Every structure is written in C-alpha cells, then in structure tokens.
Structure 1
Amino acid sequence: MSVGQTTPEPCRDLAHLGHVEMFTPKPEESLRFFVDVLGLTESGREGDSVYLRGWDDYEFHTLKLTASATSGVGHVAFRAASPQALERRVAELQAMGRGIGWTDGDLGHGRAFRARGPDGHVFELYYDTRWYEAPDDLKPALKNQAMRYPARGCNARRLDHLNLLVVDVGATREFLARGFGMRLTEQIVLDSGVEAGAWMTCTNKTYDIAFTKDHTGTSGRFHHVTYALDSREDILRAADVFLENGVFIETGPHKHAVQQTFFLYVYEPGGNRVELANAGARLMLAPDWKPIVWTEAERRKGQAWGLQTVPSFHTHGTPPVQS
C-alpha cells in the first residue's frame, strides 16, 4: 500500500455467535445427551424446542434443540453489536437480495432478521436478548459467573463455533464478508484453485464459523457444532465420559493443523456431529491479519501431529443424503 492510500474501515457490527438451532429426529435421546453427557443446562421449552446453554454462556440459550423428521441445522444466529449495527447489517443483506424478513424472535431473544446464504442455510441477526437468570439452586458463589459449575458430564462451558457444509465455499465466504462483516482467517485452496474450506471470525477469536465443501454436492447441510471446555485435560476427561456413556467417538482427542484446535468429535443420538474444544484457543488480535492459506499437499499430511483425518469427517453430514 502506498503512502497516503487508505483501506476501508473494518466492519465490527457483530458481537458474537449467539446460538444454533439443531434438528433431531430423536428429541428425548438428544436432550439426555446434551444435558446428562455434554453437561448443558435446560433453560426453557417452547413448542417442539428445548433451549440449552453452557454454564458460562451469559444468554438464555446457545442451543435450540428442535424435534424434526430429520437431523441438521435450522438456523444460525449472531448477536449484533448494537441496534444501529443490526440495522446496518439488515440494510446490506437486503441490498444483496438475501433477506428473508423480520421475525418476532423466540423464547431467548427479541425481534430478529433472517437471511438466506448462497447454500440455503438460514442466518439470523438480533440485538435484544434475554440474559440468563439462574434459579436459587444454580446461583454461583461468584457474581461474575452466570450459574454455578454443573459438575455433570463433560461440563461444557460455552458455545464456541460451528461448521457448515456448502457446495460453493467462495460464495459463502463472500456472503459472510459483505453481509455480516466477517473476516477470513484461514482457508484451504486445492491445486485446481477451488476453495475447499474457510474459517471466519466476527470477534477476536480466530474463528466463529467454518464451512467446508460438501462432497455430495448437496446444499444446506451441517457438519458440527462446538462447545468449549477449559483445558486439554478436560477434553481427555470428556473422552472418558463418552466412553462410560457408550457414545461413539469419531476422532480425537487430537490437535488440528488448521487453527490448532485441540478436538474431540462425537455423534449425538439424532446423528449430528458435536465437537468439544479447548477454551484457550488462539486469539486474533492483529487488525491487519493476513489469511493463512493451506494447500492440498499440506492438508494431505493430516492433523498437527500426523494423525490422518478419518474418512467419515469428510463424508458424514446432516441431514443424511438419500442414496
């Protein structure tokens, strides 16, 4: 950049990932998994949905578990940084022709604007939200904590990120960059020039959302949702918790090369993939961060310590594709 040349002001209109709505064909079994095994806490019910949260999530809910004929994702929600920021993002999404329209919100937040991504996924933006108020039996000893430590199952602390499956990674990246003001931090580009994966952030975490190319060519599918634990040791303990509860471990505990996340992946009873990761993940503090690009050859080396990615990680998504 030459002297005197300026770049556009970065957009900071989003506060954080708010919640994910997950569909399950086995609502009672899925609920038991998230409460008794993962350690989330139920905060409310409405219609066919149960609202859940990690013990350090400040909002009323971060997971909306909805009974459905199949698995998958209902919508992904981000909280705006202010009412004005919400209006700015809505105007941009409408200008892009991506707007679905306003809703009155649900049990956990006020009115929200919905937009449809290039792959068909539904994204939601809101500002007015319901802060969680712990009942007497869940009030913490420390007033700067939303609720007491549950000491149940894996003790999931907070919602961290999610991963979607998409047909066109580049189109989704451009949609989130323009419509939501997200920044690209890392990506995978194949030898052909095709984008195979992208990781984007709206906070000082290195990513709040990721999306990878769906090998089936099917639109609108879901790869996984991730809850954070305090440490690597907690993730190792979580593997024992899953073992004791008969939960199939797909892969891990191990460390990703991309983003360096210490990971553990399982399937919940409805068929959706769930990840546990360490809460002390990398932060992106540089305002002029340059995206890291991983090549096809580099990804063939496997994960950080040489573990090869299990085949199902590239083939399993929800809802399942009918053959």
Structure 2
Amino acid sequence: MSTEPILDLAQLAHVEILTPDLEGSVRFFTAMLGLSVTERRGDSTYLRAYEERQHHSLKLTRAPQAGLGHVSWRVRSSEALERRAAAIEATGRGRGWIEGDAGHGRAYQFDTPNGHRWELVWDVARASVPAAEQSGLINRGSRRPAAGIPARRIDHYNLTAPDVGAERDFLVSTLGFMEREAVVTDDGAVTIASWLSVTNLSHDLALVPEGASATGRLHHVCFYGGTNEALFDLADLCREHGIALEHGPGRHGIGKTTFLYMMEPGGNRIEMVGDAGALIFDPTFETVRWTASQLPTAAVWTGTEMPASFWNYATPGAPADARVA
C-alpha cells in the first residue's frame, strides 16, 4: 500500500453555523470578535476576520436550532478538486456538485461517516474591501477593526462523533488529513478523540466522542486572536456585555494553545485561542497518543479543570441524560 501523502486539501475555507437568533449572533461576531459583514443573502449573513482575504470564513444561517450547517475546505487546484470528488464518490458518501454560493464557485458536497455535511471548493472570491477599511499594512486583509477584541482568522472547529475512529479513518484515507494527537483507552485499543490537520497547525479540526444517540453535532468553532492578553480582554468584554463564558482563559495540553470558551447568543460554543500553539513541520511526525487517564492534563495544562458542560454540551441539543464519556 502506498504511503505517499495526499496533499490536495489546502485550508479550512469557511464554517456555516445555524442559529435561532441570527441578529444576536451577528452582533456577537461583529461587536465582540470584530468580524465584518461581507454579504447578506436571504436568511444567511457572511462574515470575515480582518486578516482574511477571502469573501468569508463564517456563514450564519437562521434556523430553528443551533448547530452546524456545513464546513467547506479549499483544495489546491481544480485538478485536486476532481481527484478528491472522485475519491469520495467511490466511498458512496458523495451528495454531488452544487454550482456555488456567495463567495465561491462550484463545490462538491458529501457527508462524513458521522453525519456532518462537508464540501470541497477551489474557486473562491476575494473580499472587496472599501478604501476606508484598507490597512496601511498592505499584507493585511483590512484595517484592524475598532470593535471588540478582533479575531485575526478562523482557526479550527470541533465535531462530536459516535465513532471517532471511523470518522478519523475516512478523513485520513480519503482526504489526506494527518492525525496529530489522540486520546485512547488506557489499553490503546480504542480512539476516544482525535486532532487532525492538513496544515502546519496542531489541528484544523478535532473529533470528540458523542454521548447521545445523535449524529452531525457541533462542539465548537474557534477563532485565532494572536495574543494571550486578548483572551483576558475578551473575557472582560463578555462579562460586561452579558455573553456567557464557559471556561478559561487557560492552556490546553493537546495542541498547547491558550483558550477561552463562550456561548454566542444562538447557543453555539465559540472558542478563541490566544497563540498558535504547537506548529508541526516534520513530515514524519508521529501521532502523540494520550491515554484516557491522562485526559485531565491533555484537556487543561494550566488553569482549572473543564466544567461538565464542556463534555456534555453540543449543538443541536440532545436529551438531558446524554453524557460524553
């Protein structure tokens, strides 16, 4: 079996979050995280962070419940898009092609083994930045906003999965993800959680166990702040303006990033990381495996332990007796 890596995926393009409070969610991301609105279309609003150059990295869509609409990954070429679409089609998980959406062209959509909607794109639109919002730093997407504690870019997202191992195996074998870290049972037989990337980040996405009989649920979406001080300033701002904080600031063992978790008005968990954490450049990097008994350290290296809600809550909601092991 060939060990040649699959290098067709380039970056996380955007995430669509569903929200029953579209106006409140838009206010949160613009006033608290400094994102700018690039377009409104029907029941959806498209936003981007100030160092991003693409049309949007976040799509907010009005819906009866909070949760995940879809996630979009950009490939490295039109040929890469065709290759990965064919590979997904061969697994039987493809949904087919769409002509596009605001900010991007033709895309191939599919469902992962645990019921999450994904798509792959190549043609994307660049953000149209008005002259008044252009930065003196010509290598910056737009002027640093004078609102909130502005996020620089989208960083990663975290999904729940009833079968983390099956989801991980599909992403690795079909799309070329690399598993950077994992939590396994103490005997090493079962993967409990997995952190994967296609870039040099410690993870572009994470998979954690699903405690309910549910599929397709969202744990959180994360944005990059750039400094650890930003987390304390954001926590202060959230407290002043009635945004529920779940945990932090603190530092994860896995990924070694600093973190702050909060709940946006639509009910979705949002994280901001203060620094980039571990960056991986070694092409022969081997997965770091933590055991279940090491999970407290893996979850929090500095700071207080995670609250029960971190392990139990995902969107859309599940029965009250659902628990993540």
- Residue 223 of structure 1 pairs with residue 219 of structure 2: yes
- Whether contact under 8 Å (2:17, 2:61) holds in the other structure is yes
Deviation string, structure 1 residues 258-292 (Cα, Å, up to 9, x no partner)? 11110000000110000000243221100011000
Supply the distance in 2 between the matched residues of 1:306 and 1:277 (Cα, whole angstroms). Answer: 14
Structure 1 residue 191: Cα displacement = 3.0
Equivalent residue in structure 1 for 2:82, among 62, 79, 87:
87
SS at 1:151 equivalent? coil
Structure 1 residue 151: Cα displacement = 2.1
Superposition TM-score, scaled by structure 2 size: 0.95
Number of the residue aligned with 1:205: 201
Number of the residue aligned with 1:34: 29
Give ranges in structure 1 of 5+ residues lacking alignment. 1-5
Supply the distance in 2 between the matched residues of 1:129 and 1:58 (Cα, whole angstroms). Answer: 10
For 1:259-274, what aligned pairs fall within 5 Å after superposition? 259-274=255-270
SS at 2:255 equivalent? coil
Number of the residue aligned with 2:240: 244
Number of the residue aligned with 2:250: 254
- Whether contact under 8 Å (1:37, 1:245) holds in the other structure is no
Structure 1 residue 7: Cα displacement = 5.5
Number of the residue aligned with 2:43: 48
- Residue 289 of structure 1 pairs with residue 285 of structure 2: yes
- Whether contact under 8 Å (1:20, 1:64) holds in the other structure is yes
- Whether contact under 8 Å (2:258, 2:275) holds in the other structure is no
Number of the residue aligned with 1:3: none
SS at 1:236 equivalent? helix
- Residue 233 of structure 1 pairs with residue 234 of structure 2: no
Q: How many residues align?
A: 318
For 1:40-189, what aligned pairs fall within 5 Å after superposition? 40-189=35-184
More displaced 10-residue stretch of structure 1: 16-25 or 31-40? 31-40
- Whether contact under 8 Å (2:8, 2:76) holds in the other structure is yes
SS at 2:168 equivalent? helix
Alpha-carbon RMSD? 1.3
Structure 1 residue 322: Cα displacement = 4.1
- Whether contact under 8 Å (1:133, 1:146) holds in the other structure is no
- Whether contact under 8 Å (2:195, 2:203) holds in the other structure is yes
Supply the distance in 2 between the matched residues of 1:157 and 1:300 (Cα, whole angstroms). Answer: 29
Letter in 2 for 1:141: G
Letter in 2 for 1:136: A
Structure 1 residue 157: Cα displacement = 0.8
Change (3 A) 1:267 1:204: same
SS at 2:223 equivalent? strand
Letter in 2 for 1:67: R
More displaced 10-residue stretch of structure 1: 163-172 or 276-285? 276-285
Query: Which runs of 4 or more aligned residues in structure 1 lie more than 2 Å from their structure 2 counterparts after TM superposition?
Result: 191-194, 278-281
Supply the distance in 1 between the matched residues of 2:294 and 2:208 (Cα, whole angstroms). Answer: 16
Deviation string, structure 1 residues 148-191 (Cα, Å, up to 9, x no partner)? 00021120110000000110000110111122111100001123
Superposition TM-score, scaled by structure 1 size: 0.96
SS at 1:70 equivalent? coil
- Whether contact under 8 Å (2:201, 2:276) holds in the other structure is no
Letter in 2 for 1:27: L
Give ranges in structure 2 of 5+ residues lacking alignment. 321-325
SS at 2:310 equivalent? helix
Identical aligned residues as a percent = 40
Deviation string, structure 1 residues 184-237 (Cα, Å, up to 9, x no partner)? 000011236332110000111111010100111311100000000111011111
SS at 1:95 equivalent? helix
Equivalent residue in structure 1 for 2:302, among 298, 302, 305:
305
Supply the distance in 2 between the matched residues of 1:57 and 1:135 (Cα, whole angstroms). Answer: 15
Supply the distance in 1 between the matched residues of 2:214 and 2:93 (Cα, whole angstroms). Answer: 20
Letter in 2 for 1:107: A
